[in-house]
Chain A
Amino acid sequence: GAGVSQSPSNKVTEKGKDVELRCDPISGHTALYWYRQSLGQGLEFLIYFQGNSAPDKSGLPSDRFSAERTGGSVSTLTIQRTQQEDSAVYLCASSLEGGGNTIYFGEGSWLTVV
């Protein structure tokens, strides 16, 4: 696609429910990233994919968080048993392989846990 596409753009869920957030990267981009931004905070790294593998998932805050990527394209971030502190904007980004390539962000998924 022309840009990084994320869905849903907004999600309100009840505490304890599971949520899935989807990211469709720019076509041809092999690297994909998930970040989280809480209100008034900076961007917090969650996980990085190169192809379908995740060489760095050091930022996932707990075992309630998981992510997968299939076909080297679409990625899904799953949060199980959501808590109020999970409320944040979840941003996905993608780039071509390599450290010298620009990373482009999607519009984000705003998650509110009530």
Chain B
Amino acid sequence: EDKVVQSPLSLVVHEGDTVTLNCSYEVTNFRSLLWYKQEKKAPTFLFMLTSSGIEKKSGRLSSILDKKELSSILNITATQTGDSAIYLCAVRVYGKLTFGQGTILTVHP
């Protein structure tokens, strides 16, 4: 059975801190790994990673995939209160995405 595990499950930081969120997976026929941010209902897309070792960046967020270690990290630097959300990691195998439990990030002013 495909499995995606995220850690930590929750994290509380202050504005300006840097956070690292982890995602590990055990799946067959890996296609890609995706990160989403969920604030209300719909997860919004952050990154899609298919190749190992290539960092993707968007502003203060960055992510990298390690296919040897079957894992990925999502970094957020200089956190802001608007970064408070659930961060979801998902791995795509053939058609469907298998999601991790998510990391609840709370950023205090």
Specify whether A and B are partners: yes
Name the interface residues of B38-97: CB closer than 8 Å to any CB of A.
Answer: 41-45, 48, 50, 88, 90, 92-97
Query: Complex Cα distance A93/B42, Å?
Result: 9
Name the distance in Å between A36's Cβ and chain B's nearest Cβ.
Answer: 11
Q: B32: CB under 8 A from chain A?
A: yes
B interface footprint on A17-31 (CB within 8 Å = 1, 0 otherwise): 000000000000001
Q: Identify the closest chain A residue to B48 (Cβ).
A: A102
Interface residues of A (CB under 8 A from B): 31, 33, 35, 42-43, 45, 48, 50, 55-56, 59, 89, 91, 93, 99-100, 102-108, 110
* Prevailing SS type, chain B contact patch: strand
Number of interface residues of B (CB under 8 A): 24
Query: Complex Cα distance A93/B88, Å?
Result: 15
Q: Is the pair B42, A99 in contact by a Cβ cutoff of 8 Å?
A: no
Q: Identify the closest chain A residue to B86 (Cβ).
A: A42
Query: Complex Cα distance A48/B44, Å?
Result: 19
Q: Identify the closest chain B residue to A91 (Cβ).
A: B42
Query: Complex Cα distance A42/B86, Å?
Result: 10
Chain A neighbourhood of B92, CB < 8 A = 99, 103
Chain A neighbourhood of B101, CB < 8 A = 42
Residue of B31, B36, B44, B98 near A99 (CB, 8 A) is: B31
